Structure 1
Amino acid sequence: MIVSKMRSGTNHLVSLLKSHPQIACYGEVFRDGYNVTKLLGKEFADYVPIDARTSNPNQFLDDLEVFVRNESEAFGFKIFPDQFLPVEQIAERTGLKVIRLVRTNLLATYSSDLAARLTGQGSVRVGQEVRKVKLDFNAQEFEQFIEFQSSMDDEVNKSLEIIPNDRVFEMSYTDMASTEIYEKLQNFLGVEQQTLTSNTRKRNSSNIVDRFKKPRRVISYLKRRDLMDWAAE
């Protein structure tokens, strides 16, 4: 189970895990609107209503496990804070492991979210053209964003307290550039070592302040608040 927040690289991580021959990895299977029959198969038509998945999440995951068992040693999905209803119910599942993916650079998260909403383009597939946009920086809006993100982190951490530490693998957004982290991750998941590949690519520059129309204004804000480590990622 990949536990994270939006704009934290989850699509890239899901794509990497899906490239492993022993892993079946899906998206937000507990999200209302998730296209169950298209993404999983017609066998899951009974689970199209979100209530059918969240009212008895273990039954849903049991059926999903049977569905993938012939081809995969492990299966997974991602879950965001607003989908945390089933976590307590599935925490005791045999073999459940959690990948806790965090993105500590909140200016990067904020700008990525703005760009995605303005362009209508979230993740970018390899070979796909990136829709570029320069962003306005609103300090008050950004501070509200920070507060909201912090509250979500608190909620997530509290929910995960019931899961033993040895079943949680923590990684950061920047870790995803490291080959070593994927070796450790595959060991954690109990699968053979493979070179993982993704069909998605980074859509925004690593120079975060350059994503904005007035980067000097953003730098000034970061300096005043001792947050210059967020200027790049």
Structure 2
Amino acid sequence: MQRHIILTNGRSGSNYLVNLLNSHPHVINYGEVLGDWMLPYKLHKRFKLGGNSVTEYLDYIYSSKVFFYSAQTYSAFSRLRNQKQPRVKHWNQIQSIGIKDFSINFQKRQLQSFFQHQSDILVINLYRENALKRVLSRFVMRRTGTIKVEQNQGNVREKMYIPIDTVLHDLAIFEQETHDQFELISKLPARNVLNIRYEDLFESEQAQNHYRDRIFEFLNVEPVSVKSSHRKILSDDLSTVVSNYEELYTALKETSFCKYLHS
């Protein structure tokens, strides 16, 4: 069974990819497993789920049938509760099994060399080049509680006031996160990494279909014409989202962050 990971950082479209992968009958992706708020990691910290080290914990997630069927059961009940059809898969169906997680979590867990020592893991490196839109997407999430939206839901309509000092601070942090993300995989062979830029992925429906096919080819599973039910939250026109957009524009136009105003 092939192992994979979606390596990313917050507000970069990873929920879209997790949903897409889980729509394939022979692929399973558990989503995030290294966050302090995630139940599996809480169990690891308290009861040593999978072993004493975080590496043993990750190996357990990739290889355990018990974890697999527990996750299947949890997912089925969650979908039923939300009045959706459950998607139940069996262990012997799965050809590629994976997780998604943030590069910042690999830093926090002292796993900077993890990928070098796990040479069989295929890395889907998903990154968002426009750090400003990442910052604004996080504002939307914190203000509205909206982490992801379905295809039939509308965009964020109410404008937000964005504190300029906070934006400047967060932009510097997000740029460093992207640097660290690429540093984690810098020594991996090119055949083990598929780089996907958020802006390219969401350029059009045709682009999404193109990357879907590339991902399935990368994971060595048959191409299937499935679609993710998730889509991006923000409008591309930031002036329709930020109530103090002129103030934001003025503050950024003379800084190194001005490039994000036009992309």
Instruction: Report the TM-score, using the length of structure 2 for normalisation.
Output: 0.74
Structure 1 distance, partners of 2:195, 2:65, is 25
1:91–1:162 contact (8 Å) kept in structure 2: yes
Structure 1 distance, partners of 2:154, 2:40, is 28
2:196 alignment partner, SS class: strand
Letter in structure 1 aligned against 2:35: R
Q: What is residue 192 of structure 2 aligned with on the other side?
A: 167
Deviations 1:144-170, CA, capped at 9 Å, x for gaps? 112111222232222223432220100
Q: What displacement does 1:89 show?
A: 3.9
1:126–1:199 contact (8 Å) kept in structure 2: yes
Q: What is residue 29 of structure 2 aligned with on the other side?
A: 25
Q: Does 1:217 align with 2:218?
A: no
Q: What displacement does 1:173 show?
A: 0.7
2:228 alignment partner, SS class: coil
1:224 alignment partner, SS class: coil
Structure 2 distance, partners of 1:228, 1:154, is 18
1:70 pairs, out of 92, 96, 119, with 92
Structure 2 distance, partners of 1:59, 1:151, is 30
Q: What is residue 59 of structure 1 aligned with on the other side?
A: 60
Q: What is residue 201 of structure 2 aligned with on the other side?
A: 176
Q: Does 1:136 align with 2:161?
A: yes
Contiguous gaps of at least 5 residues in structure 1: 38-44
1:111–1:135 contact (8 Å) kept in structure 2: no
Q: What displacement does 1:13 show?
A: 1.0
Q: What is residue 42 of structure 1 aligned with on the other side?
A: none
Alignment of 1:178-197 (within 5 A): 178=207, 179-197=209-227
Alignment of 1:89-104 (within 5 A): 89=114, 91-93=116-118, 95-104=120-129
Letter in structure 2 aligned against 1:79: D
Letter in structure 2 aligned against 1:24: I
Q: What displacement does 1:91 show?
A: 4.2
Structure 2 distance, partners of 1:66, 1:119, is 32
Cα pair distance change 1:231/1:32, threshold 3 Å: same
Contiguous gaps of at least 5 residues in structure 2: 69-89
Q: What is residue 198 of structure 1 aligned with on the other side?
A: 228
1:135–1:211 contact (8 Å) kept in structure 2: yes
**RMSD of Structure 2 on Structure 1 (CA):** 2.9
- Quote the sequence identity (%): 22
Q: What is residue 3 of structure 1 aligned with on the other side?
A: 7
Letter in structure 2 aligned against 1:117: R
Aligned length: 226
Cα pair distance change 1:3/1:130, threshold 3 Å: same
Letter in structure 2 aligned against 1:3: L
Q: What is residue 40 of structure 1 aligned with on the other side?
A: none
Q: What displacement does 1:115 show?
A: 0.9
Structure 1 distance, partners of 2:120, 2:212, is 19
1:123–1:201 contact (8 Å) kept in structure 2: yes
Cα pair distance change 1:117/1:93, threshold 3 Å: same
Cα pair distance change 1:88/1:65, threshold 3 Å: farther
